[in-house]
Amino acid sequence: MAVRVQAEPFDLGAESTAFAAGLRRAGAVVTFTGLVRDNGGALQAMEIEHYPGMTERAIAAMVDEAVTRWSLEDALVIHRYGRLGPQDQIMMVATAAPHRGDAFAAAEFLMDYLKSRAPFWKKELAADGSAWVAAKDEDEAALKRW
């Protein structure tokens, strides 16, 4: 189990390969990667702020719960902060389980919780100004299915 909160970019291929390499009883690995989306084509950068200390703690608690609920063999969360450009990788989740159903479910659970319960805040910077990304009601509602 690993949680990394970092400013630096990560290598998705290398991380995925390393994650899968040490597994013994997993038959399934699911990885998800979140990118900086540029809806209108005007985005210059995204700034991600976080709460050092609480961030690592909150994510570790989610990972622990996911590992217990879906009997994961391993799980990895990498989340970046700082200034990112359009299409940059923001974060990744990897889960490993004996069967794919559990690996998919655990990855979705982690994504839903990271959205609304990990202390990150995104600000979009465009030529005509900047704005904090507002939390969506459906993101909060998504937690109810778990």
Partner 1 sequence: MVLDVLYFAWVRERIGLGRERVETTAATVADLVAELSAREERYALAFADLKSLRVALDQDLAEFSAPLAGVREVAFFPPMTGG
Least distance to partner 1, CB of residue 74, Å:
20
Restricting to residues 40-59, which ones interact with partner 1 according to CB under 8 A?
49, 51, 53-54, 57-58
Q: Does 87 bind partner 1 (CB under 8 A)?
A: no
Give CA–CA dist 94/30, Å, rounded.
Answer: 6
For partner 1, give the closer residue by CB, 73 or 108.
108
- Quick one: which of 10, 31, 35, 7 has its CA closest to 19? 31
Q: Cite the DSSP H helix spans in 30-136.
A: 54-69, 100-117
For partner 1, give the closer residue by CB, 26 or 92.
92
For partner 1, give the closer residue by CB, 26 or 93.
93
**CA geometry: angle at 91 spanning 125 and 142, to 5°?**
90
From the list 11-19, 36-44, 94-102, 130-138, the region that binds partner 1 by CB under 8 A is 130-138
Is 52 exposed, middle or buried, given 0-12, 13-18 or 19+ CB atoms closer than 10 A?
A: exposed
Q: Does 36 bind partner 1 (CB under 8 A)?
A: no
Stretch (H or E) spanning 13: helix 12-21
User: Site residues (CB under 8 A) for partner 1?
Assistant: 34, 49, 51, 53-54, 57-58, 79, 90-91, 111, 114-123, 132-135, 140
